Amino acid sequence: MPVGGDFLTGVLNLWISLLEALGAKGTHWEWRKRAWQQSLEARLARWENVERSVRTTTRMCRSCRYLMDGSLSVCPSCGASMREVPRGGLTRALGLLVPMAPSASLALITANVIVSLVILLKWGGGMEGGLMRLVSPPGEALFVLGAKWGPAIQAGQIWRLVTANYLHGGLLHLAFNCYALMSLGPLIEESFGARKMFVLYTVSGIAGFALSTWWHPQSLSIGASASIYGLLAFAVVYGKFRAGPSGRALADQLMRWLLFGLVMFLFPGFDNTAHVGGVIAGATLGFFLDPLPIRTRTEDLLWSVLAGAALLATIGSFAAMALSYAENLRQIAG
């Protein structure tokens, strides 16, 4: 029983006794009383899990199921890395209270939202172009803040291939991409780990806008869709060709998302070339990336380096954008 559980149970029983003394009875009353009790029991069970997560000092190896001290970074039984296995304490408790937190998926969603808020606070937003462009920042702001623009990339601002992934053209654009990332991100992150998921997201976005730059250099484009299509294609390819029956069943469901994405080719205003680039990158990686657990220290180090490089590329690209801000502002003013 979690802390405070006895008190809450006593309060509920007292409330039920009071209502029964006032005349509550019958089949409907018994149903409602039982519903209250079951609801409280379920809440107390969740709170108890949170408490146990805070108190625990052990964790289990995903590879061999060996139970070990939570401070160990490598399983003493099979040698698998424990980096991606949650440990106890406040971090684990937060993950139970808020599904998807803390995670790379939540961090990416937060970054996309923060960037959009900063743009709106600095540049404002209009409603030109209908509902899909609701609270839309002006094109000048998107250019200055790192949208994909072929001539600028060819002139040396290659960092736009990264920053464009975090810019959005309106409220619905941001909402749709965040919803897709919230659905796909944890699915991949749970099986492959946060580092692989972040590398996949970054590489797919860069590949998408690189292809778009080559095919449509004169178009200004933005959005996390290339990265999300990369995640989707990765999940479909891995599930279809490398996973078991359950993976293939999931891949069949996700194929509907890809088919829905094909419908977008019929509508103007979408950078479908970037979507194709993301699909190509994600599908290619689907044939090579392996799920957890990471079994060797060399592999663990490799993914730490790759994830660090992706993070450095992201932070460095936004730093380069900030350093080029004044120059690009003068360019559009002139």
pLDDT mean over 299-325: 94
Give residue-wise pLDDT tens across range 88-130.
665 555 555 555 445 889 899 999 999 988 888 877 655 454 4
For residues 152 and 69, the model is more confident at 152
- Tokens for 67, please give them: 């139970």
Q: What is the per-residue pLDDT for 130?
A: 45
Burial (CB < 10 A; 0-12, 13-18, 19+), residue 101, is middle
Helix (H, G, I), strand (E, B) or coil at 221: strand
Confidence of residue 57 (pLDDT cuts 50, 70, 90): confident
Cα(106)–Cα(122) distance, rounded to whole angstroms?
A: 24
Give residue-wise pLDDT tens across range 250-299.
787 788 777 776 666 666 667 889 999 999 999 999 999 988 777 788 88
CB-based contact 12:37 (threshold 8 Å): yes
Helix ranges (H only) for the chain are 5-21, 27-55, 90-97, 104-123, 139-144, 150-154, 160-163, 171-192, 194-215, 225-241, 245-263, 272-286, 297-333
Q: What is the per-residue pLDDT for 112?
A: 94
Helix (H, G, I), strand (E, B) or coil at 60: strand
Give residue-wise pLDDT tens across range 121-172.
877 655 454 444 445 777 788 899 999 999 999 999 999 999 999 998 888 8
Sole residue written with tokens 């702001």:
141
Confidence of residue 65 (pLDDT cuts 50, 70, 90): confident
Does residue 19 register a pLDDT over 50? yes
